Structure 1
């Protein structure tokens, strides 16, 4: 099969919906064979069926699940070349209000889950002579959001994990990079927009418009647009890129908040 990922074997966590599902479909379209993981069996089995992949249901924070996902890639396809750590959870709260169990869950899923999946896959990647790991972080790793302390901290930690792995395994041909999306139309973002809509007595679409009002592109992303970023970082087109942070946020990070009053 032709494509930028022809004959590559990928493991994608959180692949049932949103960015993960879009990435699984895009990878398959680019020639990859894909193992899709997630907590809910039905969505990942649906995606896997559509792309001729394999679904492995489980909790990304559990060592046994990470091992099972990699084992599935080895058993069904013969190796691992790419890992996309996309599984994530976001729960609101500031330092005074965030529950201990919610704080721990965000760390377990958003950081430890990515580490465990990488740890399970690294021997297989090394056996193949190298490969690519793409971690999905967030612009919340780069700037603060109101009452999102656990999410921001966990996504910031993912950047440090990326840099450490890029340094430690680069000599073995393994590249590790991060994508930091801004607002993307996903179930997680829909829930955030519904919360904003309820607070402001508006509908979801108006909430999305308000969220994008100060972005230079004046819109939020489609999951497929983030999937294209993942394809680039996973492919040979990014063969000299490692330890990098690719920000895909419609230009939000370049906007100076002190000048918003002058924006027409």
Structure 2
């Protein structure tokens, strides 16, 4: 029961990793507030676990300010921010429109910045913490994904800046960088792999994209939630500014040596 008497706000909390984190925090005694643009998935998770929902765009300063105020009014304070909202920003740079680039900035980087800015006064008061969900795309570059890659690198920089600036005020900030995770968003990408390589199903697609990963499989949303909840808990009281990968060892692979592997 690591989160007894703690309140966590989770952006993008209606699906995937955000929903898995919400379930875990509730199971361990915490209050959970889910923030997202689509009320339907938020409502579904909230009804399942018993959570507060706020339909708001985490990149909108006024909306996020109101969301944080509602959470504090409902639960008496705020202890944890899980900056999970994100996505989009793929395509070749040479053909990427200004609109696609701007959307990548808004959905990935602005959501993390704005939610942190509006939450910080309350986190400072309660000596809380922030966990930013980035990606191994924030450490390496995937193909034709300059928008997503750049913004996830930016998320890591933001988290390090917050760790530096607010650590002395009692607020820890850390980053989790997942690799492939079996979520609905990733399933859509696997459909592309299925079509491209004439595979039978998305399970074969996941096997293909993780064939050079040391553990040889994708993570589940629960795997990532385990890491997030550790960093958000008191067990990580001396961890600040860290970047934790949940990628099955993908980041340890020396790419030029793959030709030696049968």
Same structural fold, with TM-score higher than 0.5 when normalized by the shorter chain: yes
Do the aligned partners of 1:9 and 1:81 also contact (CA within 8 Å) in 2? yes
* Separation of aligned partners in 2, 1:84 and 1:14: 9
In the TM superposition, residue 236 of structure 1 has moved relative to its aligned partner by: 0.7
1:164 equivalent in structure 2: 161
Question: Which deviates the most, 112-121 or 199-208?
Answer: 199-208
2:135 equivalent in structure 1: 138
Secondary structure of the corresponding residue to residue 162 of structure 2 = helix
In the TM superposition, residue 94 of structure 1 has moved relative to its aligned partner by: 2.1
Secondary structure of the corresponding residue to residue 10 of structure 1 = strand
In the TM superposition, residue 29 of structure 1 has moved relative to its aligned partner by: 0.7
In the TM superposition, residue 91 of structure 1 has moved relative to its aligned partner by: 3.3
Structure 1 residues not aligned, in runs of 5+: none
Q: How does 1:87-98 map to 2 (within 5 A)?
A: 87-98=85-96
In the TM superposition, residue 263 of structure 1 has moved relative to its aligned partner by: 2.1
Do the aligned partners of 1:35 and 1:72 also contact (CA within 8 Å) in 2? no
1:67 equivalent in structure 2: 65
In the TM superposition, residue 98 of structure 1 has moved relative to its aligned partner by: 1.3
Structure 2 residues not aligned, in runs of 5+: none
Q: How does 1:249-264 map to 2 (within 5 A)?
A: 249-264=247-262
Equivalent residue for 2:148, pick from 138, 147, 151: 151
Do the aligned partners of 2:88 and 2:107 also contact (CA within 8 Å) in 1? no
In the TM superposition, residue 68 of structure 1 has moved relative to its aligned partner by: 2.4
Question: Which deviates the most, 27-36 or 85-94?
Answer: 85-94
Do the aligned partners of 1:54 and 1:72 also contact (CA within 8 Å) in 2? no
1:194 equivalent in structure 2: 191
1:6 equivalent in structure 2: 4
In the TM superposition, residue 197 of structure 1 has moved relative to its aligned partner by: 1.2
Secondary structure of the corresponding residue to residue 66 of structure 1 = helix
Secondary structure of the corresponding residue to residue 96 of structure 1 = helix
Secondary structure of the corresponding residue to residue 94 of structure 2 = coil
Equivalent residue for 2:239, pick from 215, 238, 241: 241
1:58 equivalent in structure 2: 56
Matched, 1:39 2:65: no
Secondary structure of the corresponding residue to residue 109 of structure 1 = helix
* Separation of aligned partners in 1, 2:35 and 2:113: 15
RMSD: 0.9
TM-score, normalised to structure 2, is 0.97
In the TM superposition, residue 100 of structure 1 has moved relative to its aligned partner by: 1.0
Equivalent residue for 2:124, pick from 123, 126, 129: 126
Equivalent residue for 1:29, pick from 20, 27, 30: 27
